[in-house]
Structure 1
Amino acid sequence: MKEKNDKSMFDKLVGDIEQNRDELKLQAHLFKKETKDEWEALEKKWHHFKGSARHASIEAQAASKDVFAATQLLGEELKASYKRIVKSL
């Protein structure tokens, strides 16, 4: 049961990050130079995260807790970074 709860929490995290990213992507033309640099670095992390999240989701039953935890940590980092960009606008 805990694994299902972890998966639904993880899916919510992925959804939240994706929504934050999509909202910011619409405002990208307003970014200052330093924010654009941060955005580009985040885009690389985002693509890595999406691949890891997809893999973790597909392999949720067999994935090690370490892989799941590392992907979740990266997700939390992305979420915080997107929020930081929003505050800078």
Structure 2
Amino acid sequence: MLQRNRIADLGKVLTDLQNKCDEQRLQIHLASKEAEDEWKDLVAAWDRFLSRAQFDKSAEEVGEAGRQLSLKMKAAYDRTHSAL
């Protein structure tokens, strides 16, 4: 009887571990997708910045836009890096 309880307990532990692994795999997948979407948005912002910087903007406006974009990119990189 004691042996059956140990086997049942082991089965529960294994099932719980499998569930946690599945949950973690899903969370990693979702975090990866979120990071990919954020990166695509940043690349689009970078492309817009480059196209605008080539027109009638003052050096100050271009510099400020570049600074803002670089802060967003750094924050996105930090989030992605910590998620992985």
With normalisation by structure 2, the TM-score equals 0.49
Greater RCO (CA < 8 Å, at least 6 residues apart)? 1
| Structure number with bigger Rg | 2
With normalisation by structure 1, the TM-score equals 0.47
Query: Which has the larger helix fraction?
Result: 2
